[in-house]
Amino acid sequence: MGSVGRVVELNTGTKIPLVGLGTAAMNQNPEEIKTAVATALEVGYRHFDTASLYRSECALGDALKDAFLKGLAAREEVFVTTKLWSEDWDDSVSALRTSLKNLQLDYVDLYLIHWPVRLRKGASFPIPKEEDFLPLDLESVWQAMEQCVHLGLTKAIGVSNFSSKKIGDLLSHAKIPPAVNQVTLRWGLEQGISVLPKSYNKGRITQNFQVFDWSLTAEDHSKISRLEQKKANLGLEMTNSTTSPYKSVEELWDGEI
C-alpha cells in the first residue's frame, strides 16, 4: 500500500483515511454517538468504523445522513467500514444489506469478517457457550464476501483479527484478496497504518486528529520498534477445549500473540 498524504491506498485503488473514528463502546447511547460523529466531521474526520456487533450502525447512519443533508460532507468523501458478525456467516449478503439499511447507505467502503469464528444464530454474548460454535468454512464465507463486491454493496473486503497464517490460507482460494486485516495495534500511523481512536469526548476527538503537524524522530521509531507488541483483545471468549476450532488463544492467533 502506498501512503498519499493523509490516506493510504488499498489494493483495490480505494483510498482509506489514516485516522478514523471508532464506534465500539459499552452501553452505547445513540445520541452520544451522533454528537461524536458530528464533532468528528467538523474536526475533519472522514473515516468511520462500525460493526453490526457494536449496535452503532443506526446512530452513525443518522449522523451521516444529517451531515450529507447539511452539506458538511459528501458521501464520496466519507469512508465507512462495517463488519460481518460470526452469527451471520451463512448469509453475508443479507447481513450487509441489513447493515446498509441501518447506515442509510447504498454501499460501504469496506466490509470485514469480524473474527475467524462461526457461531449459531442467537449465540450467547459476550462469551459463547460450547453449543454456539459451528464448523469453520472460511472458503464459503469469503466467496460470499466477494459476492458483496460484485453486487456493489461494498467497495472492498477484508478481515479482522486474522493471523498471518489464516490470511495465507485465505489467499490460496480468494479471487479477490483481502484489502485489510484490522487488528488492535499500539502504534502504526507513521507505518502507513490506518488507526481508529475511540472517544465520544469532544476535546479528545479533536486531539486525536491533531497528529499530522508533527512526527516521530528516527530515534523514536527505533525505540518503539523494539517494544514488545501485544494485542489488546486476544479473543479468549472465542476459545474452548471442546467445540471451538481453537483450544487456546495461541491456536486462534497461530502463535502470533
List residues with catalytic annotation.
54
Please state whether 155 falls in left (phi above 0), alpha (psi between -120 and 50) or beta: alpha
d(CA 245, CA 183): 20
d(CA 161, CA 183): 5
d(CA 50, CA 233): 17
E strand map for 114-245: 157-160, 181-182
Q: Are 154 and 122 spatial neighbours (Cβ–Cβ below 8 Å)?
A: no
Determine which helix (DSSP H) or strand (DSSP E) holds 66, and give its type and residue range. helix 57-70
d(CA 144, CA 194): 25
For residues 17, 118, 85, 237, the Cα torsion angle rounded to the nearest 10 degrees is -90
Q: Are 156 and 14 spatial neighbours (Cβ–Cβ below 8 Å)?
A: yes
For residues 155, 159, 165, 169, the Cα torsion angle rounded to the nearest 10 degrees is -50
Name residues whose C-beta falls within 8 Å of residue 149's C-beta, 6 or more positions apart in sequence: 155, 156, 157, 176
Q: Which residue has the cell 527505533?
A: 222
